[in-house]
Amino acid sequence: MKHVRMAASLLVAAALLADPAIAQTTGPGDPTTLYAPALGLPLGIAAGRAGELFVADTFRIDRVDPTGSVTTYFGGPTSGSFFIDVVVEGSGDLLVAGSVLWGQAWQASVDRITPSGQRSQFTQFAAADADARAITIGPDGDVWVGVVISSGASEIRRYDPLGTFRGAVAVSPNGLGGVVVDLAFSPSGQLYYSGVNYAVYKIASGTPQLVFETPGLPGMGGLSFDKDGYLYVGHSFLGVVLLDPTGQVVSNPFATTNLGGSAINLAFLRAANGDMTARLLAAYQGGTPDQPGPGGIVEMNPAGMRANGFRIGAIASIATASAHLLGGLELDPIVQQQLDAQGNNNGKYDVGDFRAYLRANGQLSATTAAVRRERP
């Protein structure tokens, strides 16, 4: 099964780096410390709205509370799904990318999982779509998914917040990074992706442009921006690398200790009130003498962090913000508080807050809003 082979290859990479012949220096993010104990094979991580962390851990989704305690949030060995990446939506729901078993074949899937544990299909994939490997949410609330097609090709697809297809960017299996591993938006609104082969790219005018590469050394992993546009890159052999907003290397490595050979995905934590913090976590694959295996989560040394993380996605998409007022999707209470604080701040999320949110996103001019307020 391809998922077993993928996990096995990650453990091989971890074993190679455990060889003392492969020298590893340290960086500003060292020493890292254990944040969550032994997990299965954590492939994707996403910060929750109140300090918790969600982990796509092969056949289940784990929840790690702010104390580091791990519980199963959804799924298990009999879930019929293989979970690869996860992102937290503006409504508070999880969107989980991976694949689902249909008969004897695996097919790409993206599911919505509500806080109450209800699962539904976010969008429909074709039989030729083998895996959904990466997922993120843009500043406008649109959802971007890295998809592997059974032919071996890979592309990045864009969907609106309700799952309607809006377009795609083709990614050559050889020339443009190979299979998409992770996706992340910069503070300037550009989409970046890492490819399993050797490189990180950004999408400019619908075309991939090279940002950073490690020729002959495969293993690109997670991407995470801080608020100033500095990019942290996980790599199976290098640990974590830090790039400046122009793509120049600042620290290589930024961190290597206790990563078990592979920093597969990265995420900045959020505080209990939903604000971003400077606490950067990395999922590792494969144990080390100091960290239990087969996988877990470590935190970068806080003294080495330069700024708070950049928040993924919109506070809420316009579609979900309006759906809440119309009695559709229920927004997370913290999201409602944030929208109210940016609006009329009267203690509840209402139409006035929605208008303020539209103005902040350029969808409603101040003049139009003033005219509407004057109408009886």
173 plus 99 within the same structural domain? yes
Residue 311 falls inside a structural domain: no
Inter-axis angle of helices 351-360 and 333-342, to 10 degrees?
A: 70
Last residue of a domain, one of 304, 335, 352: 304
Residue 370 falls inside a structural domain: yes
Instruction: Using alpha carbons, select from 11, 195, 2 the residue that is nearest to residue 108.
Output: 2
Instruction: Using alpha carbons, select from 6, 2, 96, 112 the residue that is nearest to residue 55.
Output: 96
Residue 129 falls inside a structural domain: yes
pLDDT at 11: 47
Residue 310 falls inside a structural domain: no
Last residue of a domain, one of 304, 335, 359: 304
Place of tokens 């699962």: 119
225 plus 82 within the same structural domain? yes
How many C-alpha atoms does 78 have within 13 Å on its Cβ side? 0
Residue 46 falls inside a structural domain: yes
255 plus 339 within the same structural domain? no
For residue 212, what are its two tokens?
């950073």
Are the C-beta atoms of 288 and 18 separated by less than 8 Å?
yes
Query: What whole-number distance in Å separates Cα of residue 139 and Cα of residue 142?
Result: 7
Are the C-beta atoms of 232 and 182 separated by less than 8 Å?
no
188 plus 329 within the same structural domain? no
pLDDT at 216: 82
Strand ranges (E), 186-292 = 191-195, 199-204, 207-213, 220-225, 231-235, 239-243, 249-255, 263-270, 276-285
82 plus 145 within the same structural domain? yes
Considering its fold, how many domains does the chain have in total?
2
At 169, which CATH number? 2.120.10.30
Query: What whole-number distance in Å separates Cα of residue 174 and Cα of residue 147?
Result: 15
Q: Considering only residues 10 and 236, tell me which one the structure prediction assigns the higher pLDDT.
A: 236
256 plus 334 within the same structural domain? no
295 plus 334 within the same structural domain? no
pLDDT at 195: 86
Domain housing 363 = 318-374
Last residue of a domain, one of 244, 275, 304: 304
Residue 300 falls inside a structural domain: yes
pLDDT 10s digits, 318-362: 777 888 899 877 777 767 877 887 788 899 999 998 998 888 666
Residue 309 falls inside a structural domain: no
111 plus 14 within the same structural domain? yes
59 plus 180 within the same structural domain? yes
349 plus 206 within the same structural domain? no
Ordered strands of the 119-121 beta sheet: 81-88, 94-102, 105-113, 119-121
DSSP result, 206-226: TEEEEEEE-TT---EEEEEEB
62 plus 14 within the same structural domain? yes
**128: how many CB neighbours lie within 10 A of its CB?**
12
Residue 286 falls inside a structural domain: yes
352 plus 252 within the same structural domain? no
Model confidence at 37: pLDDT above 80: no
Share of the chain above pLDDT 90, in %: 44
Model confidence at 43: pLDDT above 70: yes
Supply the mean pLDDT for the chain. 83
pLDDT at 143: 94
